[in-house]
Amino acid sequence: MIRSIILFIVFLGGIASASDFAKEQRWADQVVDSILDGEAIWLEVDNRKFLSIYTAEESETSKGGLIVMHGTGVHPNWNQVIQPLRVEMAARGWHTISIQMPVLANEASHDDYAPLFIEVPPRIDAAVAHLQNIGIEDIVLVGHSLGSLMTSYYLSTSTNDAIKGFVAIGMPGGSSNDQMNSLKTLPKIRVPILDLYGSNDLPDVLENIRAKQQAVKRANIEQIEVEGANHFFDDYEDQLVNSVNDWLSRQF
């Protein structure tokens, strides 16, 4: 009887730590028909599909591919940060693919997302494989807020040679959970990093700027502050895109 109760608790715990797939589907139902630039594609992990939006580059010379990761609980066409980047960077020569990250119910806290980090690497790997299958070899990962922490965790464990850089936007610093702690994951990353944030960003971002730089202890992290911008770069979309594009131009 006791063993059955334990197994039931473990079973419930497994459910609690999984992405809210019903919410993912609701987002997909809303997003797919509203896409004006790019096309919806469905990538697959463990026989379960998740929404992504692919936008082909619009210049004569492809510069590579960008995989874009959104923040807490939203979707791959979110109008703050994500949609401007995936569309405008395609206009500047980058194939972009914005992917649905694991999500929880609206009332979930930041720390509730920690168990979902294990679901991140297979999704990013699926996006990398998609870009490689269409002939794109040089790939940069771009993450905003929680998406930047998920990306940093991925890069701290990945040895994928196709990944050439990491753009972290509004990336928080410390956390009691090592997977969510950029001060723990950043030192393990071996590709160039852009740490981009607004001067009016969240306290957890601004208070850890120097700590992130010291944690890396090497030359290939560049930190750029966009004066006046908040965490979501509201009304500063042009500065956001220009900062990312300029850094990528210097790196590649």
Give the Cα separation of 20 and 103 in Å (integer): 6
Say if residue 176's pLDDT is above 90: no
Predicted local distance difference test score (pLDDT) of residue 134: 93
Q: Quick one: which H or E segment has residue 250?
A: helix 237-251
Mean pLDDT, range 159-184, rounded to an integer: 92
Predicted local distance difference test score (pLDDT) of residue 17: 56
Write down the pTM of the prediction: 0.91
Say if residue 174's pLDDT is above 80: no
| Parent domain of 99 | 2-251
- Please state the domain count of the chain: 1
51-105 pLDDT, tens digit each: 999 999 988 778 999 999 999 989 999 999 999 999 999 999 999 999 999 999 9
Contacts of 138 (CB under 8 A, 6+ apart): 63, 64, 65, 162, 164, 252
For residues 204 and 16, the model is more confident at: 204
For 104, the token pair is 């929880």
> What is the residue-averaged pLDDT of the chain?
90
* CATH assignment of the domain containing 109: 3.40.50.1820
Predicted local distance difference test score (pLDDT) of residue 84: 97
Q: How far apart are the first and last CA of the chain?
A: 61
